[in-house]
Amino acid sequence: MTWLWRICSDRSRPRLLAALLAAALSLEAAAITGKVALQRSNGKPSHDCSGVVLWLEPAGGAPVDPHPIAAKMVQKDKKFAPHVLAIPVGSSVDFPNFDPIFHNAFSNYNGQIFDVGLYPPRTSRIVRFRRRGVVRVFCNIHPAMSAVIAVLPTPWFDVSVRTGAFEIRDAPPGAYLLKVFHERATEATLRKLERRVVVSAASLELPRIVISEAGYIPLPHKNKYGREYPTVIRDTPIYGAPQ
């Protein structure tokens, strides 16, 4: 590193130093890119391939520091946004209510169980997710509201966009197991999609990953008390709340 120290000491070469530092960083981490394609249960391709979670875990099973983050899942127009959120273990998720009505985000099965309680517009609740797993999120008032939080034991992940494209950044060179989650795919289908990948200093483009939704059966969910939702939902707007 003597040559780099000499350049650092020479203030007349800041641009060259920046270029060398960027090159050095690129040798330490790479990007894994690719596309997923969703195949509906009837065999036809889906035009929206967003919401697929892909992540890397060391092939040797060595523990990884997941680097917790602060994320957000908004409640607006009686929807959770984003619908699919991926976070490292230990991260916190903010659930702000941007609707002019009450909401109550909760999860009572799969992954971490939580219940933020009933809360009004312009307020929020924060939940920290301390264990890995897939968390199915619902609203105790509005049965049509649902979302997914994938809590991952790794900092190397991405969620596909509408075109199916994804990019996992900053993975150090080494052997990994690529894992996939899609909320409308069976566990057996997802296990078959796992593959070993070797990351080097250069970026890696993976072959297209086709995910079939065949065999998946959506099940209706109940409220946080394990009961059926009322057949009629009556929302009372809060005085002074934004419409």
C-alpha distances in angstroms, 28 versus 53, 60, 173?
Answer: 24, 19, 7
- Domains in the chain: how many in total? 2
Q: Would you say residue 166 lies in a domain?
A: yes
Rounded Cα distance between 93 and 54, Å, is 19
- Could you tell me if 122 and 164 lie in one domain? no
Q: Say which residue the tokens 């596309």 belong to.
A: 35
- CATH number where 90 lies: 2.60.40.420
Q: Would you say residue 25 lies in a domain?
A: no
**Contact criterion met (CB below 8 Å) for 242 and 123:** no
From 153, 180, 205, give the residue that closes a domain: 153
* pLDDT at 28 (0 to 100): 56
- Could you tell me if 87 and 74 lie in one domain? yes
Is cis: bond before 82, omega within 30 of 0? yes
* pLDDT at 236 (0 to 100): 62
- Could you tell me if 94 and 144 lie in one domain? yes
What the block records as the tokens of 228 is 């059926």
* pLDDT at 232 (0 to 100): 78
From 118, 136, 153, give the residue that closes a domain: 153
- Could you tell me if 97 and 143 lie in one domain? yes
- Could you tell me if 111 and 186 lie in one domain? no
- CATH number where 194 lies: 2.60.40.10
- Could you tell me if 75 and 144 lie in one domain? yes
Buried/exposed 217-235: b ≥16 CB within 10 Å, e otherwise: eeeeeebbeeeebeeeeee
- Could you tell me if 39 and 102 lie in one domain? no
Q: Would you say residue 173 lies in a domain?
A: yes
Q: Would you say residue 72 lies in a domain?
A: yes
**Contact criterion met (CB below 8 Å) for 112 and 102:** no
Please provide the DSSP assignment of 89-116 as one string.
Answer: TT-EEE--B-SSS-B-EEE-SSS--EE-
C-alpha distances in angstroms, 169 versus 3, 32, 77, 97?
Answer: 29, 6, 33, 31
Report which of 196, 159, 169 is spatially closest to residue 84, judged by C-alpha positions: 159
- Could you tell me if 85 and 57 lie in one domain? no
* pLDDT at 238 (0 to 100): 52
The strand pair at 30-39 and 209-212 is best described as: parallel
* pLDDT at 2 (0 to 100): 41
Range of the domain at 51: 30-61+157-215
Q: Would you say residue 228 lies in a domain?
A: no
Report which of 65, 87, 67, 41 is spatially closest to residue 211, judged by C-alpha positions: 41
- The H or E element spanning position 189 is helix 187-193
pLDDT in tens, the chain (243 residues): 443 434 344 554 444 433 433 444 444 578 999 999 999 999 999 999 999 999 999 998 888 989 999 999 999 999 999 999 999 999 999 999 999 999 999 999 878 999 999 999 999 999 999 999 999 999 999 999 999 999 999 999 999 999 999 999 999 999 999 999 999 999 999 999 999 999 998 889 999 999 999 999 988 899 999 999 988 777 766 543 443
* pLDDT at 197 (0 to 100): 96
Q: Would you say residue 163 lies in a domain?
A: yes
- Could you tell me if 146 and 169 lie in one domain? no
- Could you tell me if 146 and 72 lie in one domain? yes
Q: Would you say residue 137 lies in a domain?
A: yes
From 131, 153, 175, give the residue that closes a domain: 153
Assign 5 to helix, strand or coil. helix
* pLDDT at 92 (0 to 100): 98
Q: Would you say residue 23 lies in a domain?
A: no
- Could you tell me if 137 and 90 lie in one domain? yes
* pLDDT at 220 (0 to 100): 87
* pLDDT at 237 (0 to 100): 60
Which amino acid belongs to residue 225?
Answer: Y
- Could you tell me if 52 and 72 lie in one domain? no
What the block records as the tokens of 235 is 């929302």
